[in-house]
């Protein structure tokens, strides 16, 4: 699976994180540690999980001091057990210690997202629906957080407002569209958006599902509907007999505990905001092993 992302794109975020933490200097390290001292350390997983973010931690150390050597011990997406060394770091002790928190923050956050995503993916294995993320990301972290979702085996929904049309109730309210609202919205989108772009509409009731079907979008999102209504809606959409039937997405209130119930509806997409907005950081720590 392709996990790559643009390192240059996230360099400003890494630089900001370093400046935010080190500022004018690491007064503790600079007071205690001789400038000449070189050490070796290991980043260790303290609990089981999926590792993501090693290239980002490496980039952070490159920005702090190019004399620091950062050597990954596992591949991105590797499942680890507690005590596993995921990376080794060698070089000037001051730089290694000063960069510790920045590197760990990236590793913990991204590995936490990858781990949670993998848990969701595992719960729906064998069902047709695929797990997707949302735009509920930390500002500035979107490309990284969506990368971590891919590492965990999930798929990315639209990256932003610029690469897919998603017509929600507030768009239609702003248009003051009360009759044939979705049809009007889809028509306007097809006229003005790029022809290659997917058009998705949000439906919250069975009546809106009927209207969405008539509007002929590419995707119908069944948002915050009960499982009973989702099953009815899926059957209605599949039995409509359209030459190009819309994909069906379910969203809203989906957790690890109930995701399999949503998967049983045989929807095509299961979008889960919790992948990014509620992922718990994976416990990872740096341990200095000695001087070199």
Q: Which residues are catalytic?
A: 101, 136, 168, 202, 223
Spatial separation of the C-alpha atoms in residues 91 and 152, rounded to whole Å: 31
Residues 6+ apart with CB under 8 A from 45: 51, 80, 81, 82, 83, 84, 86, 282, 283, 284
Longest dimension (CA), the chain: 75
Tokens (6 digits) for 117: 């995503």
Sort 65 into a burial class: Cβ within 10 Å, 0-12 / 13-18 / 19+. middle
Tokens 């794109």 belong to 9
Spatial separation of the C-alpha atoms in residues 230 and 107, rounded to whole Å: 37
Q: Which residue from 232, 216, 215 is spatially nearest to 267, judged by alpha carbons?
A: 232
């Amino acid at each position: 699976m392709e996990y790559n992302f643009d390192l240059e794109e996230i360099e400003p975020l890494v630089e900001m994180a370093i400046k935010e933490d080190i500022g004018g200097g690491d007064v503790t390290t600079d007071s205690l540690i001789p400038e000449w001292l070189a050490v070796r350390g290991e980043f260790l997983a303290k609990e089981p999980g999926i590792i993501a973010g090693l290239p980002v931690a490496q980039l952070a150390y490159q920005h702090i001091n190019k004399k620091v050597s950062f050597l990954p011990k596992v591949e991105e997406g590797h499942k680890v057990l507690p005590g596993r060394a995921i990376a080794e770091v060698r070089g000037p002790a001051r730089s290694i210690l000063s960069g510790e928190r920045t590197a760990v923050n990236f590793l913990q956050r991204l590995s936490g997202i990858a781990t949670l995503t993998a848990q969701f993916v595992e719960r729906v294995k064998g069902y047709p629906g695929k797990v997707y993320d949302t735009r509920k990301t930390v500002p500035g972290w979107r490309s990284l957080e969506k990368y971590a979702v891919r590492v965990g085996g999930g798929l990315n929904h639209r990256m932003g407002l610029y690469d897919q049309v998603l017509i929600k109730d507030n768009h239609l309210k702003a248009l003051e569209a009360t009759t044939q609202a979705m049809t009007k919205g889809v028509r306007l989108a097809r006229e003005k958006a790029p022809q290659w772009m997917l058009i998705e509409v949000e439906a919250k009731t069975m009546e809106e599902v009927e209207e969405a079907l008539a509007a002929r979008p590419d995707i119908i999102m069944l948002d915050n509907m009960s499982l009973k209504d989702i099953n009815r809606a899926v059957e209605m959409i599949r039995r409509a007999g359209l030459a190009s039937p819309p994909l069906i997405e379910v969203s809203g209130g989906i957790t690890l505990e109930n995701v399999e119930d949503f998967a049983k509806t045989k929807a095509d997409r299961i979008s889960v905001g919790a992948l990014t907005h509620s992922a718990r950081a994976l416990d990872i720590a740096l341990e200095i092993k000695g001087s070199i």
